[in-house]
Chains A and B, each alone.
Chain A
């Protein structure tokens, strides 16, 4: 089962130095494990701001990971554009896709799953999809390792 503890282990394994996050109800279940780890999360107030902090971290030689829900990703578009395309920094994101499972089951009219794919593509960010309910901790670690290892920006669309 992919949970906070396995995510912390995956971040360690991937060489992530800092976690910048704004949790949603899914990512919030990682809070205890993250707070007890060396990845005491950096807590900004809004998602564009999270990307700004990540820009500074990357300029200073760190390897941050930014975690946010897709609703916040929608808000953060200009900061993402600036980081990935103006500054050409290797911005790494995990973006939670709200209601993805419900939408797959035909039980949600939430527009998040529809627009998450389109907006990540619009910003020309290489991305993969990951469903933590259908994956092992080892597979989660592999996905995060692949994200971190890429030379440029990248996104994992994380099914919620």
Chain B
């Protein structure tokens, strides 16, 4: 198992010019690793919508690569998003942070924690490229392949839950985030 920071450090090293959408607990770490206009910290959010938001960006800007940092609790709230995204051959990478917990609410266990085969779910939903990693070393060795090439891609990371952390906050107001993102994407 890897720590959240170890998991995200590997993403930061391999994201190239992709837009990255952190959500929930990952927002507590990601700004220290990357805080460019292509980092869209989706908070305030509607929990579970991060993959859908990423897919919409891909469809609006063909060719744009998007990496979504999804928590397992968030993904379970909107599992249909995998079926929707699986319909499209777009450069969307869903990186699942699986810690079995609702971490930002104090660490309560999720439904099915430790029993859900997220890789099988993603394959069945239409993701042709599915990867799974249990240690930081394996993830570091596999990330270059996993985060390159055709999409959509699903990466399942086993991450240690961390209790007692403060609820994360985005590094800047949403209006400013949107303005920066649109400017860098040349989106009207």
Contacts and interface: CB of A to CB of B under 8 A. Distances in A.
Q: Do A and B bind each other?
A: yes
Interface of A: 17-18, 42-46, 48-62, 64, 78-79, 81-83, 86-89
B54 interface: yes
Interface residues of B, number: 35
A78 B46 contact: yes
Contacts of B58: 56
B84 interface: yes
Interface stretch (B146-154, B160-168, B180-188): B180-188
B16 to A, nearest CB: 18
Given A49-B81, A55-B52, A86 B40 contact: no
B13 interface: no
Contacts of A57: 56-57, 59-60
Contacts of B188: 61
Nearest to A86: B44
Q: Is chain B's interface secondary structure helix, strand, loop, or mixed overall?
A: helix
A59 B56 contact: yes
B163 to A, nearest CB: 26
Given A56-B52, A62-B59, A81-B46, 15 more contacts: A42-B84, A46-B78, A49-B80, A53-B59, A56-B53, A59-B53, A60-B57, A60-B59, A60-B61, A61-B182, A61-B185, A61-B188, A86-B44, A86-B46, A88-B174
A64 B72 CA distance: 28
B178 interface: yes
Contacts of B50: 52
B176 to A, nearest CB: 12
A56 B80 CA distance: 16
B125 to A, nearest CB: 10
A60 B178 contact: no
B64 interface: yes
B175 interface: yes
Given A45-B80, A59-B181, A82-B45, A52 B52 contact: yes
Contacts of A52: 46, 48-53, 56, 78, 81
